[in-house]
């Protein structure tokens, strides 16, 4: 991944998460463990079946041999010799734990713990072949015959210690093999999942940076699969977002940034509704601009206008208004639209006086020796806020008598004066003086308006106005320096 983090990028918090590589490792590890466990059970079951078959074969031979050895002492009626043969068999043959012998005359000889074997033998039909009895222990029994006649029955119980030893040894080997299989498979899966998840981790990290406004993020495209395709699409997306942000920044230089944001966020003009609203309109135009432009080089005219408009724009923005449009040598600003402001009249008056003060500080002299000055007009009233123009070219602005009156007010004053109707002056509140100009007939208004020049008389307001002017000339000044400048201006 390439790309530098933007300066001022918000820190990305470490969010607890469970990486994909660990998920795959655990899933595969559990699957391998389960598979090994199932295979171990199957192997143990098969080995036990094989051991039981082998035990049955051995038991068949041993029980038959014991039966043959017992025929002679039993027919001779020697109980002692019969008992000796049985005990010798139990001691000499491995894993034999009990022997039961019953003659046809119901004589019984036994060695070891019998349990309920005698009852079981009465319920099972025996033959001359050795069979395993249907009990939990390993009992094997058969009929002892002589001359084709059943003369006795014999049963022998074997211990399962042999199987326990075999099963324990087998289980140890399987667990050891399973351990190595699980470890090796876990390491391999972790490595493989890491290789596969690394592009996803890079994508997630880059996306988090983009979410915080860093559009310099780019992903390296490796291979030709779904992950590389996702990386390519991410790069295209970031390029489009960066282009969109550049467009927003450029449009913000021509339109109000809030309006631009509304248009971008609503994907059109869906949020920019037409409505009636009370606003304060400010007009400021240069005094004797025609004479100035005729006597001055074109580059200098543009430079002077831009210099003034740059300062005006910062002052208007400081007091919560927005520049609606530039009309040649004039600027039109609106307060209480689009940003709502309950003190819009007062803030508009402050901005207007600050603009005249900024003009004097610019001290740009004309060739006739007089400083470039602007006359400012203000008016508060209801206007229509809406999208004005053709379908191909719209302008979101304000229209109405209040706008026209504000424009006329500017024409009544001299350079460096702020003129407004008395009703607007009253709405501005305390801290201002009103130099009455009398009743004046204004074009487009049926009744004469009482107009006058407004100035700041309150020290606190004047101090705030000085701060706004200082900030307009250098917006990078820290707050404490601006306040010092304001004190000096005061």
For the chain, 490 residues long, give each residue's pLDDT as a single digit of tens: 444 444 444 444 455 566 777 777 788 888 888 888 888 888 888 888 888 888 888 888 888 888 888 888 888 778 888 888 888 888 888 888 889 988 888 888 888 888 888 888 888 888 888 888 888 888 899 888 887 788 888 899 888 887 788 888 888 888 888 888 888 888 888 887 777 777 777 777 888 888 887 877 887 777 777 777 777 787 888 888 887 777 777 666 555 566 666 655 655 544 556 788 899 999 999 888 877 777 778 888 888 888 888 899 999 999 999 888 888 889 999 999 888 889 999 999 999 999 999 988 876 655 555 678 899 999 999 998 877 777 666 777 888 889 999 999 988 888 889 999 999 999 999 999 999 999 988 887 888 899 999 999 999 999 999 989 988 887 554 444 445 444 544 4
CATH superfamily membership of 1-217: PAS domain (3.30.450.20)
Helix (H, G, I), strand (E, B) or coil at 127: coil
- Spatial neighbors of 55 by CB under 8 A, at least 6 apart, are 138, 158, 162
pLDDT, position 128: 84
Distance separating alpha carbons of residues 329 and 254, to the nearest angstrom: 16
Residue 105: which of 68, 142, 136, 75 has the closest Cα? 75
Q: Enter the pTM of the model.
A: 0.52
Sheet with 108-111: strands ordered across: 108-111, 96-103, 149-158, 138-146, 131-132
Tokens 């520049």, residue located: 323
Measured on CA atoms in the order 394, 400, 402, 404, is the torsion positive or negative?
positive
Q: At what angle do helices 161-211 and 20-75 cross, to 10 degrees?
A: 170
Tokens 């009233």, residue located: 381
Helix (H, G, I), strand (E, B) or coil at 414: coil
pLDDT, position 263: 59
CATH of domain 272-489: 3.30.70.1230
Confirm whether 1-217 and 272-489 share one CATH topology: no
DSSP state of 467: H
pLDDT, position 379: 93
Q: Which helix (H) or strand (E) holds 51?
A: helix 20-75
Q: Which helix (H) or strand (E) holds 132?
A: strand 131-132
For residues 468 and 350, the answer to whether their CB atoms sit within 8 Å is yes
Measured on CA atoms in the order 423, 424, 425, 426, is the torsion positive or negative?
positive
Beta strands 374-390 and 275-286 are antiparallel
pLDDT, position 452: 93
For the record, the structure tokens of 163 come out as 């199987």
For residues 351 and 333, the answer to whether their CB atoms sit within 8 Å is yes
pLDDT, position 367: 57
Helix (H, G, I), strand (E, B) or coil at 33: helix
Distance separating alpha carbons of residues 89 and 99, to the nearest angstrom: 9
For the chain, the domains span 1-217, 272-489
Nearest 5 degrees, angle CA 395-CA 401-CA 403?
Answer: 50
pLDDT, position 7: 41
pLDDT, position 274: 74
Residue 78: count of CB within 10 angstroms of its CB:
13
Q: Where are the alpha helices (DSSP H) in 212-256?
A: 226-254
């Amino acid at each position: 991944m390439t790309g530098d983090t933007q300066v001022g990028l918000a820190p990305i918090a470490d969010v607890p998460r469970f990486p994909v590589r660990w998920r795959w490792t655990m899933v595969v590890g559990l699957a391998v463990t389960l598979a090994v466990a199932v295979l171990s059970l199957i192997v143990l079951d098969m080995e036990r079946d094989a051991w039981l078959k082998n035990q049955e074969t051995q038991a068949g031979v041993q029980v038959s041999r014991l039966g043959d050895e017992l025929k002679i002492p039993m027919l001779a009626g020697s109980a002692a010799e019969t008992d000796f043969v049985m005990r010798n068999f139990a001691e000499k043959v491995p894993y034999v734990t009990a022997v039961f012998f019953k003659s046809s005359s119901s004589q019984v000889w036994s060695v070891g713990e019998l349990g309920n074997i005698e009852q079981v033998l009465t319920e099972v039909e025996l033959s001359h072949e050795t069979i395993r009895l249907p009990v939990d222990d390993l009992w094997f029994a058969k009929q002892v015959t002589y001359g084709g006649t059943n003369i006795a029955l014999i049963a022998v119980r074997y211990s399962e210690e042999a199987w326990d030893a075999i099963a324990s040894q087998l289980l140890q080997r399987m667990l050891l093999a399973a351990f190595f299989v699980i470890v090796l498979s876990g390491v391999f899966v972790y490595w493989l999942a890491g290789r596969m998840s690394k592009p996803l981790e890079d994508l997630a990290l880059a996306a988090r940076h983009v979410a915080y406004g860093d559009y310099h993020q780019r992903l390296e495209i490796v291979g030709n699969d779904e992950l590389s395709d996702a990386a390519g699409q991410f790069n295209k997306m970031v390029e489009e977002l960066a282009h969109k942000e550049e467009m927003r920044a450029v449009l913000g230089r021509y339109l109000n940034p809030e309006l631009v944001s509304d248009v971008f966020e609503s994907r059109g003009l869906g949020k920019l509704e037409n409505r009636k609203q009370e606003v304060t309109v400010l007009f400021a135009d240069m005094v004797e601009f025609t004479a100035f432009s005729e006597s001055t080089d074109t580059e200098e005219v543009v430079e002077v206008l831009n210099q003034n408009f740059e300062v005006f724009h910062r002052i208007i923005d400081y007091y919560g208004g927005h520049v609606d449009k530039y009309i040649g040598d004039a600027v039109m600003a609106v307060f209480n639209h689009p940003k709502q402001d309950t003190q819009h009249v007062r803030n508009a008056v402050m901005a207007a006086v600050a603009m005249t003060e900024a003009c004097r500080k610019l001290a740009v002299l004309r060739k006739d020796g007089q400083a470039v000055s602007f006359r400012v007009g203000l008016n508060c009233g209801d206007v229509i806020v809406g999208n004005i123009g053709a379908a191909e070219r719209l302008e979101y602005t304000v229209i109405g008598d209040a706008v026209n009156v504000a424009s006329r007010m500017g024409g009544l004053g001299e350079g460096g004066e702020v003129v407004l109707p008395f009703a607007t002056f009253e709405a501005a509140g305390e801290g201002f003086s009103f130099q009455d100009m009398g009743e004046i007939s204004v074009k487009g208004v049926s009744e004469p308006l009482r107009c006058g020049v407004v100035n700041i008389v309150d020290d606190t307001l004047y101090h705030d106005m000085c701060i706004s002017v200082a900030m307009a000339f250098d917006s990078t000044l820290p707050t404490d320096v601006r306040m010092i400048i304001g004190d000096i201006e005061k």
